[in-house]
Structure 1
Amino acid sequence: MQIDGTVALVTGAAQGLGGAAARALGDRGARVALLDLPSDRLDAHAEDMGGLACPADVTDEAAVAAAVARAADHFGAGPRIAVNCAGIGPAARIVGREGKLSVDLFRRVIEVNLTGSYIVMSHAARAMQALDPTATGERGVIVNTASVAFEDGQLGQAAYAASKGAIAAMALPAAREFARAGIRVVNIAPGLFHTPMMEGLPPETVEGIAANIPFPARLGDPSEYALLACQIVENPYLNGTTIRLDGAVRMPPR
């Protein structure tokens, strides 16, 4: 699908992977709606790149529906591209010290990472189905964000890995469901990237993490995630799969 001139909706778009994806799509001529929790950072990023700030919580279905409708009204057309990057990654053992459980954390991670992605995908797909097909028969492309943790979950990542594994599992059935409408669904499973989750770690910790990455032996840059998201949009035969973007890393148990 051609990016130039299309409407794109990106979640988690204030910073990190989502911020880079929004920027890359905008640089290629897309009209971008940036969805994230309300913040000055979201407003500034949207203004800087000429996009539309759509403050919303991805777990709030009414807010997501309103954001999709606002984007369509502002740009004169619904989104043909949706990139789901909103997510959280707290870590906790299933049974911690002194028998403390992490059920509440599990529920929260599933709600944000999995249910939030499902809500956005649902409303974006419904909007795409109402659009006329392009010359290639496409109506839209949905890119969801899994993680290498869906295969290589580390100790303390049971909730995060479960949420990302479910996203990976959704790709094929969603792609099959939306095929008749000409909507593709593809997941990116990033490895270790320079994101706000990593920025709070000491430099020596980051160096130790990067040492386990075969090549390139460094953390990924969000622009590389954004590049793959754009390539997925532009390649019409990518559908129903999860692509690891990880420098060939395989995460150790801890």
Structure 2
Amino acid sequence: MDPLHYRAFTTPSGGGNPAGVVLDASGMTDARMQEIAADLGYSETAFLDPGDGGHFRIRYFSPLAEVDFCGHATVASAVALADRDGAEGHYVFHANVGPIPVEVHSTERGYAATLRSVVPSVAPLDALAELLRVLGWERGDLAPDLPVGVAFAGLSHPVLWAASRARLADLAYDFAAMKDLMIAQGWGTVSLLHRASPDLIHARNAFAVGGVVEDPATGAAAAALGGFLRAHGLLPADGRFTVMQGEDMGQPCRIEVDASGDGGVRVSGTAAPIPVA
């Protein structure tokens, strides 16, 4: 089946993070999936193997390698299924990290999807000094009142808070050194953040390990961030916040996060097909 082209976590004015979606990859080899993902060049392409009752095996490939979990490709896949079926739906995607329930609902801008991540966790960021060196940041570039660490909700992401929006906007890092560091540490992306308010966070996510400098929208990192804020008592009272990402790339993306309660974190966003010739 030819891959579909979607953009996920769109804003009312457009934007969104492109993803490839193959709705029936049953019988497809790993090599073929990797080849398709590399040809598309999106940060991730999702490959679905249909099961029964709305259950699907799902795998994600970046241009360079398989990725255990990807939020924006999950949202894109769920909306692609709803577009195919012409109806809202409930799905369970069985990823390498475990089952990811997803609900698709209609909005005034088309379909939106809400996924629930695996249970999040946090850990210390032992490689902080090395990460700052690779980024070209100083310790004074970090927000003094916010904690650093490693957040997990399917993938591990170091969390750094920029002291200013201008510091976040100025991103130029050593790509080869970042890729090596991410491989050594087992990181999915590097979450670079600025907290404009308790319920609005600006994000950039370095993704050298996936073969691209920056991911325009990272649902997996947003889920992990929800767990990180919950663990540190930094959530708004209702547990909900918005992540704006991709703005500095000219691809604005909006990710809604609900980390209230315990267990998995809910991540929501709209998605739409990308017209292709």
| TM-score over 0.5 for the pair | no
TM-score by length of 1: 0.29
TM-score by length of 2: 0.28
More helix by share: 1
More strand by share: 2
